[in-house]
Amino acid sequence: MKASQSTVISMRLPAASGKRLRRMANRHGWTPSDASARLVEEGLRRSEFAFIDFRDSTIGRQACIQGSSLAVWEVILLCRSYQNNSEAVAKHLRWPQAKVQAAVNYAEAFADEISEALAENEAGGLTTIQRMLPQTIEFVAGKAARR
């Protein structure tokens, strides 16, 4: 979440909340001000987009779909594989179509964020993994033999 312009808003927190905010900021390497701005932005996005939540992951905080382990960018990747047929994606995931549409809506509103996540995923292909883990081999699923 990148901000091009900012405004200063002062707020008062209970002491316990301030301690939790500082712990979270330290854990992520942020200032308490950065952490509070991020949490406010995430809260606003949650209130504006159905089924959206934010979680820490190995690549940082990212928008996810509530009640699932999928990030928004992963749902969009799946949508692309189904030629943007949200009904087919919903059937594949066994979700109501509204959840898939929520990911699409969020991705449209924050296109740069989702495009960046998709590009990072694409850059981390098999070759990249094999450089880090030389013992990695590609698994190709085959048809099961008939008996």
Average pLDDT, the chain: 89
Average pLDDT on 43-60 reads 93
Query: How far apart are alpha carbons 100 and 52 in whole angstroms?
Result: 11
| Whole-number pLDDT of residue 40 | 95
Cβ(69)–Cβ(53) below 8 Å: no
What tens digit of pLDDT does each residue of 94-119 get? 999 999 999 999 999 999 999 999 99
What residues contact residue 15 under an 8 Å CB cut-off, 6+ apart? none
| Whole-number pLDDT of residue 138 | 76
Does the pTM surpass 0.85? The reply is no
Which residue type, as a one-letter code, is found at position 77? L
What tens digit of pLDDT does each residue of 64-73 get? 999 999 999 9
pLDDT classification of 122: cutoffs 50, 70, 90: confident
| Whole-number pLDDT of residue 142 | 58
| Whole-number pLDDT of residue 99 | 97
Average pLDDT on 35-39 reads 95
Query: How far apart are alpha carbons 105 and 103 in whole angstroms?
Result: 5
Phi, psi for 109 (deg, rounded to 5)? -70, -30
